[in-house]
Amino acid sequence: MLSVLFGLVNPVVNRIRWSLVLFILVLVLIPSYVSATSEAQATATAPNISYVFGSPVTFATHTELQSYGFSFGPSDGQFGAIPAGGASYTFYGTAGSTRSCAGTPNVKGAFTFAGTLDHVTGSNGCKRLFGRGDGPAGWVFDADYAGGGQVVRFEGRGNKGWLMSFHGEVWWQNPSTSDHKCNVAGGSGSKVDCFYSSLGLAVSTDDGKTFKVVGQILQPSQPMSVFTGGGKNMAVGYGSLVVADANGKHLDNPPADPSGAYFYLFYTDLSPGLPGVCATEICMGVARAPYADVIAAALSGDPHKVAQMFHKYDGASPNPWTQPATSDTPDLSGTAGKYAPLWTDEPGGAEVIYDSSFDVYLAVYQSSAGIKLRASNDLIHWSGPIGAPYHEAGRTLYYPTLLGENGDPTIAGSAPRIYFSSFPTGSFPDYSTSVFESVQLTLSRGR
């Protein structure tokens, strides 16, 4: 009887033992496989591309810009351009105007100016497009500062025009310093008014002649209450818009099939508990919204629709695009969704352009070592720096911006240009000491 029972039980016991063995193997091997697969995918999506910097070219001196009626800038931030015929462009950037400004004297905000890719040639009438407090009634995200410049076209459902993401700020006084200002990140020694920043959106339907602020499109992951009254700024960047499909593959603008297109929005953010430097420094993140939804919201006249259209990438599964990009609270009392930094080994980022010659995206950013670039095939997985940084001895370089060289400033070729403002270290934001410069990149495959 016992032998019969043992014969019946033993196979059951063996099956249980083998099940346990297999379960343990699964626990051990699958994470290793997933990790290896993830690393392989990240490696596969990192473009093999490099560059050589050309010699710096003076795009404009402060004396020249002052003669056009500007007291500071342009551009106090990233800037953009629309072709104006021939080799000429209408540029868009942040500036302050003097009483000699013919269009809108003694104000600050987003202005246009004129020139070629080589040099600024005029103020384009020195007319301000918008300034602080021009957001929708009751919304405070741009109460003390509003400035932008990068522009991207849109077209759909019988409407077309240009979108401009911009940087809006709320200020406070720092109780811990005699001048009540806050230090600029990066260790340069420069100080500015303490601020909490968000991204707004302005729209032009008259081919870039005028722009109207339609609302807030992105808010940092931490609410304003974390920063106000303290000694640290929250810098979200100026925003950078790129058109691509759901997998980050570049699309023409306007896209042939708008239903499969998205506007991707790049920004910087800061959130304790994140890996690497991103727990204490600003790092680049991305949000996106369906192409048609952006057009509809931007033209709706409803700032709540504008505030709700973008969602941040947070790296979660199965859908990493569910985090709301703003809290949709006009007084900034709410908390927006969390974000996932796109790299964590160093701070910086937020200006992105598509390069058609190599079918890659390039991100340019300011670092303590100078201006650096990274590359991506899908807008999510980014390479490390693809070359040595550009720097100038004794000077700090601010607001690097990439512009395409082949007639469409929003699309780079094999030799795009990086524009930036160069200051003696520690003198920012004293624009009387600055030089507006550009350097040309020569891109190639391989490293």
User: Which residues are bridge partners to 82 per DSSP?
Assistant: 90
Give percent of the chain above pLDDT 90. Answer: 85
What's the CA gap between 64 and 73, in Å, rounded? 11
| pLDDT(337) > 50 | yes
- In the numeric block, which tokens belong to residue 284? 């680049």
* 3-class state of residue 384 by DSSP: coil
Helix intervals (H) in 273-349: 291-298, 303-308
Q: 396-430 pLDDT, tens per residue?
A: 999 999 999 999 999 999 999 999 999 999 999 99
CB-based contact 433:196 (threshold 8 Å): no
CB-based contact 320:314 (threshold 8 Å): yes
Classify residue 380 by burial, with Cβ atoms within 10 Å: 0-12, 13-18, 19+.
Answer: middle
The verdict on residue 157 lying in a domain is yes
Classify residue 317 by burial, with Cβ atoms within 10 Å: 0-12, 13-18, 19+.
Answer: exposed
- pLDDT of 186 reads 66
What's the CA gap between 174 and 229, in Å, rounded? 6
- pLDDT of 157 reads 83
The verdict on residue 40 lying in a domain is no
What's at 21, amino acid-wise?
A: V
- pLDDT of 317 reads 81
The verdict on residue 5 lying in a domain is no
Q: What is the mean pLDDT of residues 208-218?
A: 98
**263: closest CA among 285, 246, 242?**
242
Q: 273-305 pLDDT, tens per residue?
A: 999 999 999 999 999 999 999 999 999 999 999
Phi–psi pair at 22, nearest 5 degrees:
-65, -40
Q: Between residues 18 and 101, which one has the greater pLDDT?
A: 101
- pLDDT of 45 reads 55
What's 361's domain CATH number?
2.115.10
Gyration radius from the chain CA atoms: 25
Domains in the chain, number? 1
| pLDDT(387) > 70 | yes
Instruction: Give all strands (DSSP E) within 25-136, no chain letters.
Output: 49-53, 57-61, 70-72, 80-85, 88-97, 108-115, 120-122, 128-130
The verdict on residue 46 lying in a domain is no
Categorize the per-residue pLDDT at 116 as very low, low, confident or very high, splitting at 50, 70 and 90.
very high
Categorize the per-residue pLDDT at 262 as very low, low, confident or very high, splitting at 50, 70 and 90.
very high
The verdict on residue 41 lying in a domain is no
CA atoms within 13 Å, Cβ hemisphere of 442: 4
The verdict on residue 181 lying in a domain is yes
The verdict on residue 143 lying in a domain is yes
* 3-class state of residue 9 by DSSP: helix
Q: Which residues contact 166 (CB under 8 A, 6 or more apart)?
A: 110, 130, 142, 146, 147, 148, 149, 199, 200, 201, 202, 213, 238, 239
- Which residue segment(s) compose the domain that 137 sits in? 51-445
- pLDDT of 7 reads 43
Q: Which residues contact 134 (CB under 8 A, 6 or more apart)?
A: 109, 142, 146, 213
- CA end-to-end span of the chain, whole Å? 76
The verdict on residue 28 lying in a domain is no
What's the CA gap between 127 and 140, in Å, rounded? 24
Q: Classify residue 378 by its DSSP letter.
A: S
Q: 144-175 pLDDT, tens per residue?
A: 999 999 999 999 989 999 999 999 999 999 99
CA atoms within 13 Å, Cβ hemisphere of 337: 25
- In the numeric block, which tokens belong to residue 206? 């008259």
- pLDDT of 8 reads 39
- In the numeric block, which tokens belong to residue 386? 């693809």
The pTM assigned to this predicted structure is: 0.89
What is the enclosing helix (H) or strand (E) of 35? helix 2-44
